[in-house]
Chain A
Amino acid sequence: MKADHESAFLGRVRKALGRPGGVRPAWTGLRGRDADAATLAELARIRGRSREERLGLLARLESEAVPLKLTVRRVTDARQAAQAVVDLVAAGEPEWGGAKRVVGWRHPLITALDLGARLAQLAVPYSESDPALEGQSSEDRRERRAALRREVADAFVGVTAADYAVAATGTLALKTRPGQARSVSLLPTTHVAVIYLEQIVADLRELYLLLEHDPGGKTEGLTNCLTFISGLSKTGDIEFIMIHGVHGPREMHLVVITDEAAP
């Protein structure tokens, strides 16, 4: 039973479109479609890219990243990736003063970097944005969320993975899942994302095709919050002078693992 506000509203829309009451047009444009032959061929082409083609995409991504002030680093394996993160933490300084703190996603790739242990050697605390919220009361959840928010807000480096990277636009696509908090790529001054070479696609068109048709993605969908990040936060609002790091991160690094494949 539709609420009054909704029936009246949609009634006005239908009337404006000249449709007699309650008549739906025979338009199936909304129905989710299975991939047609052309799309399947396209998906196969994307997935079947050679290593050389993938390295070509990485080169494209590196050049697109320059004006976006996104720093791209190539590493051969997860161990080197972890070292790259540690180096960034060692070199950086907290923007808002206080002690250095790092927060990261609970994600297979990030967890495998073992950042907790490595950063302990620098005496830098590391926490995962893992709420362990299932089965807890809403009171406990709220408390845990508040504590997590403080951790993320106090962290000067946030470490995430990504679902895809787009070469043509320097974009990272990040879905939201338990343990993969949105604020980790947003609140800390420096955002570091770690991905595998295979995750790089050519352009936004390919990204959307995969978002829609990738088997893993099909069950979970886009999730309740999908974010595209293309470089640093920026503005030109004062006299058109481009300034980076407005509300989001002031520094952004993408670490690409080239010689290992995603498990």
Chain B
Amino acid sequence: MMSAKAPDYRARARAAIQDGTLQKALGGVQQRLGPATAALYAQLPEGPGLRQTAHDLRMQAVMNLDLLLEALADKVRAAGGHVYFAADAQAATDYCLQVARDHKVRRVVKGKSMVTEEIALNRALEAAGIEAVETDLGEYIIQLAGERPSHIIAPAIHKTRQQVGRLFAEKLGIPYTEDPPRLTQAARKALRAKFLAADMGISGCNLAIAETGHITTVSNEGNIRMATTLPRVHVAIMGMERIVARLQDHQILLRLLSHGAAAQKVGGYVSFIAAAATPDQADGPEAFHLVVLDNGRSRILADEDLREILCCLRCGACLNVCPVYGKIGGHAYGTVYTGPVGAVLSPLLAGLKEGRDLCLGETLCGACQQACPVNINLPRLLLALRQKMTEGDRSWGVPAAGGRERAAMRAWSWVVASRGRYETLCRLLAALQRCLPRKAGWIRWAPLDFRGWTFSRDLKPLARERFVERWRRTKKTTGGRS
């Protein structure tokens, strides 16, 4: 599933940086949404502390997950729905296929759901000969293009209108147009037919409410409402941690996640679904199945340092402010979950066997936490991940890092343990740097790891005399050179 090995990650990042169209699209997303979300947070009637309140509600849910999931399952079943607890992706897809077989499903319509990407549900359905159509416009576009989403909320934002025009002309057989309203109308028409003909609708679950036994979905297009109203069967896939205890908790979280996702006061359509249609209701599915997914989450839950990431609402706000994501886009990560949250979650879901580049390739600037509707301390989580990958971790089965990096750090540690050694090394480097090419006093090129610096920046040379030495020479110091 993951392919974030060192050369691939850097190569993908490089390609993204050189892609002018992508750069413009990423700049557009961040300029539009980053400041607008911040403005909404600044206007919260309850004050800025509401994000931390929301954090605490989510953590409380995470820390009582067994109780909440049981309560949810009891209520859904009491209302006539089915609940299946899937240990992993295979169990989840097997169950969905079984439901499809039981209900003689040939055509599926899907709402946007990251968790269905995570378990590769579309592939499983297609392998079983079932047509699975993505209905969110962005997802529909990339499905036609055979690509992966590049952003959690705006999956096709990397595509120009010309690219979409060519795609629709080829795949939908319509005359070429690059006019977004006409393109959208073409998708509207094509997908309306799909909604009306579909046997089964699949959605994710933004947040379930244990107290009332509902799942909730949020969209702006209306596709999730269509997919969960019209077909005979509704299957909802839910990451096990996507739950809150009480209805009143949801009020706070709905507002904050709407701010974070698309700088809205509230998402255009919010559906609270508890069950299939009752016999006396005019429409709605005949059967409702809720699939609760673990797939590595319980392992994260067991880790006290890292379980905070389970508070994530998948709103994408962190992507909208991250300077790294803003340059490399979603595809460079090579994983389902991208951006700052992906940098933490993807390695964890892969059991920490992969993803070093994801968590090292961040500047720890902290903009992500500021943008997060539930104030997740992503920088702390990234540092915690780095520690586990470096020092090793028994519970995750990660060995301590060795090789060049460990040796370099040991050497550094030895040098900074003594002022004398530190000064000696500085004097040595200051002497060696005389060989390096300079311009106007600054170094133009330096070897080894410093090539990364000098390929685009001049490097200030080491001072001839350290400040502390000058101080020692000219004034009294406290303590010696120990």
Contacts and interface: CB of A to CB of B under 8 A. Distances in A.
Interface of A: 3, 5-6, 8-10, 12-19, 24-25, 27, 29-30, 32, 64, 68, 129-131, 133-134, 141, 145, 148-149, 152-153, 168-169, 171, 176-183, 186, 203-205, 207-209, 211-212, 221-241, 243, 245-249
A225 B240 contact: no
Nearest to B275: A224
Interface string B145-159: 000000000111101
B283 interface: yes
B268 A9 contact: no
A238 B180 contact: yes
A9 B292 contact: yes
B187 to A, nearest CB: 8
Nearest to A205: B251
B384 interface: no
Given A204-B251, A247-B222, 13 more contacts: A13-B66, A15-B302, A16-B298, A17-B302, A29-B64, A68-B268, A129-B282, A204-B255, A207-B251, A208-B250, A230-B266, A233-B220, A237-B137
Given A230-B267, A234-B220, A237-B156, A208 B277 contact: no
Nearest to B138: A237
A10 B66 contact: yes
A149 B137 contact: no
B346 interface: no
A246 B66 contact: no
A141 B283 CA distance: 10
19 contacts: A5-B84, A5-B85, A8-B87, A9-B292, A9-B294, A10-B85, A19-B66, A134-B279, A168-B265, A169-B265, A178-B282, A186-B226, A222-B214, A223-B274, A224-B281, A224-B284, A225-B277, A239-B180, A246-B184
Contacts of B195: 247
Nearest to B195: A247
B240 A13 contact: yes
Contacts of B183: 238
Interface stretch (B24-32, B97-105, B405-413): B24-32
Contacts of B279: 133-134, 141
Interface string B371-414: 00000000000000000000000000000000000000000000
Contacts of A18: 302
- Interface-centre pick from B64, B84, B246, B281 (highest chain A CB count, 10 A): B281
Interface stretch (B69-77, B199-207, B432-440, B448-456): B69-77
A175 B211 CA distance: 18
A32 B301 CA distance: 27
B180 A241 contact: yes
Interface residues of B, number: 94
Given A9-B87, A129-B282, A246 B159 contact: no
A223 B281 CA distance: 11
A239 B229 CA distance: 29
A153 B226 CA distance: 12
Interface in B1-44: 25, 28-29, 32
A97 B159 CA distance: 32
B268 A233 contact: yes
A227 B155 CA distance: 25
A54 B294 CA distance: 47
A153 B294 CA distance: 38
Contacts of B240: 9, 13
Nearest to B28: A240
B220 A235 contact: yes
B230 A227 contact: no
A72 B291 CA distance: 40
A247 B221 contact: yes
Given A27-B64, A224-B274, A239-B180, A181 B281 contact: yes
B159 A238 contact: yes
B318 to A, nearest CB: 18
A145 B67 contact: no
A16 B62 CA distance: 11
Interface in B77-100: 79, 83-87, 91
Nearest to B278: A224
B424 interface: no
B68 A30 contact: yes
B481 interface: no
A5 B280 contact: no
B192 interface: yes
A29 B245 CA distance: 7
Interface in B231-277: 240, 245-248, 250-251, 254-255, 262, 265-277
Interface string B174-216: 0000001101100110011001100000000000001110100
Given A212-B248, A234-B268, A221 B294 contact: no
Contacts of A134: 279-280
B355 to A, nearest CB: 21
Contact of B301 (A16, A171, A231, A245): A16
A41 B16 CA distance: 57
B122 interface: no
Contacts of A141: 279
Q: Which 3 A-B pairs have the closest CB atoms?
A: A248-B222, A16-B302, A237-B138
A30 B67 contact: yes
Contacts of B269: 227-230, 233, 248
B280 A235 contact: no
A243 B220 CA distance: 11
A247 B60 contact: no
A10 B154 contact: no
A240 B29 contact: yes
Contacts of A239: 25, 28, 157, 159-161, 180
A239 B277 CA distance: 38
